[in-house]
């Protein structure tokens, strides 16, 4: 699905581009000529905007040169705001034509809990952009802080006001290694949990205040960085404020697939009226899911994809290597959740949304990993062996 300003019709025949047509059963690409159009394609895939019930509550605008701000802002996309993320360019001074047209198409309803605000401008965005958005007869709110660490605190307080509560689940990212936290950002668009930063100097005061505000309740803190990035001393600092767990994985790619299969359930969280069991992570170990595949080389393709985790698709994020190929960890995980053939009316499938310019070769390989297993596949014998072993062990019990 390519971004098109006027909805250009698809022109294909049964023999044209056969290699690409081969992919349509398990994959679809969302892309544009640049990151601005690509973010717009994500928005168009989720919000038809044909009637009020399929319009977003608002739209989040961020600068295209400030990844740490954008990453922290993904939690704002969740309910009650319900928003796609689009870009402002030229150091926060220009509203691109593609973004302006998408604002007009979406016609956001407004966030009832926030006096029907329709557009959130997050970060250091020039007043001229605010004025231009308001000329479209859209109600705005600017959320500003001097740096990403402070912005995470501002957002935490703002969302706590909207929800009448501070989220007890908090994700921690490292300011100098944001790519490890990309999967957390997509989850946060899906669930809206807390988010804060640590820095090379340890735990900043802003993050300490975020954690302290959870008391007397017990916050659950999840760190998206290996020990080579966030050391054990910083982990010990965080543990003063609550339960701390490091998401496993030595690379961003490995951490993404570990997070796809991760689930932490347990102690009740939240406040008196909304008291519920903790359930953190996708926890997928079986087929039947949407996923998103992106190259982490350009954050502007990855971070806005949170809307595909938030609404409609609810897909988890997996990452290619910087060169574009599938990592071994990803291949192994996809083999675990690969569908096995069952009676047709009971068959489940996996589906992948390809983000941006991931190569056709990689998509073709992914397509094979997503398809329903065949008894004639070379690697299917291992699945049969596992099933046989399981049945054998069960019969012995």
- Residue 271 is predicted with a pLDDT of 54
- Residue 277 is predicted with a pLDDT of 78
- Each domain of the chain, given as residue ranges in start order, spans 18-333
Place of tokens 């992919």: 23
The model's pLDDT over 308-352, given as tens digits with 9 standing for 90+, comes to: 999 888 999 999 999 999 999 999 999 999 998 888 888 999 999
pLDDT band at 274 (very low <50, low <70, confident <90, very high): low
The answer to whether 82 and 130 have CB atoms below 8 angstroms apart is no
Residues 6+ apart with CB under 8 A from 195: 71, 72, 74, 75, 152, 155, 156, 170, 171, 173, 184, 188
- Residue 376 is predicted with a pLDDT of 59
Question: Which of 13-22, 44-53, 155-164 is predicted least confidently?
Answer: 13-22
- Residue 382 is predicted with a pLDDT of 37
Dist CA 272 CA 278 (whole Å): 14
- Asked if the model's pLDDT at residue 172 lies above 70, the reply is yes
Give the rounded distance of the alpha carbon of 67 from its chain centre: 14
pLDDT band at 307 (very low <50, low <70, confident <90, very high): very high
Q: How many CA atoms lie within 13 A of 392 on its CB side?
A: 6
- Asked if the model's pLDDT at residue 20 lies above 60, the reply is no
pTM (predicted TM-score): 0.86
DSSP run (H or E) holding 212: helix 205-212
Tokens of 313: 């698709």
Q: How far is CA 3 from CA 15, 22, 25, 58, 79, in A?
A: 24, 21, 20, 21, 26
The model's pLDDT over 125-149, given as tens digits with 9 standing for 90+, comes to: 999 999 999 999 999 999 999 999 9
The model's pLDDT over 344-365, given as tens digits with 9 standing for 90+, comes to: 888 999 999 999 999 999 999 9
Greater pLDDT, 267 or 234? 234
93-112 burial: b if 16+ Cβ within 10 Å, else e: ebbbebbeebbeebbbebbe
- On average, the pLDDT of the chain sits at 88
The answer to whether 139 and 118 have CB atoms below 8 angstroms apart is yes
- Asked if the model's pLDDT at residue 297 lies above 80, the reply is yes
């Amino acid at each position: 699905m390519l971004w098109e300003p006027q909805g250009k019709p698809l022109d294909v025949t049964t023999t044209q581009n056969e290699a690409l047509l081969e992919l349509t059963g398990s994959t679809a690409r969302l892309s544009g000529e640049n990151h601005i159009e690509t973010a717009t394609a994500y928005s168009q895939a989720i919000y038809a905007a044909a009637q009020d019930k399929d319009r977003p509550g608002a739209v989040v605008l961020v600068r295209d040169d400030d990844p740490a701000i954008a990453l922290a802002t993904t939690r704002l996309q969740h309910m009650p705001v319900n928003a796609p993320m689009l870009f402002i360019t030229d150091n926060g001074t220009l509203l691109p034509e593609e973004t302006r047209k998408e604002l007009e198409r979406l016609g956001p309803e407004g966030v009832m809990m926030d006096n029907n605000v329709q557009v959130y401008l997050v970060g250091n965005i020039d007043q001229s952009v605010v004025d231009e958005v308001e000329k479209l007869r859209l109600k705005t709110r600017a959320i500003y802080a001097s740096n990403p660490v402070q912005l995470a605190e501002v957002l935490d307080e703002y969302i706590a006001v909207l929800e009448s509560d501070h989220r007890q689940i908090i994700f921690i990212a490292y300011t100098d290694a944001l790519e490890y936290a990309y999967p957390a950002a997509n989850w946060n668009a899906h669930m809206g949990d807390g988010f804060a930063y640590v820095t090379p100097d340890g735990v900043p005061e802003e993050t300490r205040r975020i954690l302290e505000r959870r008391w007397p309740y017990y916050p659950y803190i999840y760190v998206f960085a290996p020990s080579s990035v966030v050391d054990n001393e910083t982990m010990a600092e965080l543990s003063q404020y609550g339960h701390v767990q490091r998401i496993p994985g030595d690379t961003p790619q490995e951490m993404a697939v570990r997070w796809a299969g991760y689930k932490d359930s347990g102690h009740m969280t939240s406040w008196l009226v909304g008291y519920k069991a903790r359930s953190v992570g996708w926890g997928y170990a079986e087929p039947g899911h949407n996923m998103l595949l992106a190259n982490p080389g350009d954050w502007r393709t990855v971070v806005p994809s949170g809307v595909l985790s938030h609404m409609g698709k609810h897909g988890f994020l997996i990452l290619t290597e910087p060169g574009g190929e599938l990592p071994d960890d990803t291949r192994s995980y996809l083999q675990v959740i690969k569908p096995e053939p069952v009676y047709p009316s009971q068959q489940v499938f996996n589906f992948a949304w390809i983000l941006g310019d991931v190569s056709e070769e990689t998509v073709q390989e992914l397509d094979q990993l997503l398809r329903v297993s065949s008894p004639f596949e070379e690697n299917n014998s291992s699945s049969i062996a596992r099933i046989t072993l399981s049945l054998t062990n069960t019969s012995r019990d």
